[in-house]
Amino acid sequence: MSKTPTAQQADVIIIDDDSLMRQSLDSLFRSIGLTTLAYASGQEMLDAPEPLAPCCIVLDVRMPQMGGFEFSTKLAERGWRIPIVFMTGHGDIPMSVRAMKSGAVDFLPKPFREQDMIDAVQAALDHAKAYLAEQAHGVALLTRWELLTPRERQVFDGVARGLLNKQIAGDLGLSEITVKLHRASMLKKMGVRTVADLVRISEALALVRPHD
C-alpha cells in the first residue's frame, strides 16, 4: 500500500508552477520509492507545517509572484534547513553561481536527464539526513550539559579553552583540589575522558547551547 505523505513526511517536495513538470517529477520520484508532495508555488509550502523528517526540495527558479531564490531566502529566514535542487528552463552561468551560493545541492537546466535529477535528489536527501543526525547529536549533548551545576559549567568552559586546573582555579577563586573535583564530576556527566573529546563536544554544543 502506498503512503500518503503530509508536509511533515514527504521525501521530496516539488515546487513548480508547471503542472506537467510537477506530474512528471512526481512519477519519477515515486518510481524509485520516494514519497512526494507537489506545490504550484513556494507560498503554498510556506503555508504548510514545517517538515520534520529528512527531505529535500526540487525548486523551479522562475515562477510568478515568488521566484525560487526569493523562496529559498524566506526558507532560511524561518530556519528551515532543507536542501534544495534548483531547476530552470532559462539558466545561465551567473544564475547557477547564485544558486550554489544560496546553498543549493545542485542546479539542473531543463530539460534534464532523469538520472541526473535522481542523483541530485539522492545527494540532497543524504545532506538532510546528515544534518538531522547532527542536530539530534547536539540535542543529546545539550541534555547532558544541562545536568551540570553552574560551577561545573564554568570548569567545562575553562577546560574547553585549554586552561590547566591551576589556571581555572585562579579565574574562579577556588582551590585547585576543588576544581579537580568539579572537573571529575563534569567529565563523568558529559561522558568523556579526554580533553580532546571535550573540545569536540564544546564545538558541537556551541550550535545548540544557550548563551548568557
Domain extents in the chain: 12-133, 146-205
pLDDT in tens, 95-144: 776 777 667 888 898 899 999 999 999 999 999 998 888 777 788 888 99
| Residue 92, pLDDT score | 63
Full-prediction pTM beyond 0.75?
Answer: no
CATH class of 12-133: alpha beta
Burial class (CB within 10 angstroms; exposed 0-12, middle 13-18, buried 19+) of 179: buried
Topology of domain 146-205, CATH: Arc Repressor Mutant, subunit A (1.10.10)
| Residue 59, pLDDT score | 94
Over 55-101, what HEC string results? CEEEEECCCCCCCHHHHHHHHHHCCCCCCEEEEECCCCHHHHHHHHH
Nearest Cα to Cα of residue 20 among 118, 134, 111:
111
| Residue 2, pLDDT score | 38
pLDDT in tens, 39-96: 999 999 999 888 878 999 999 998 998 988 899 999 989 888 899 999 988 766 667 7
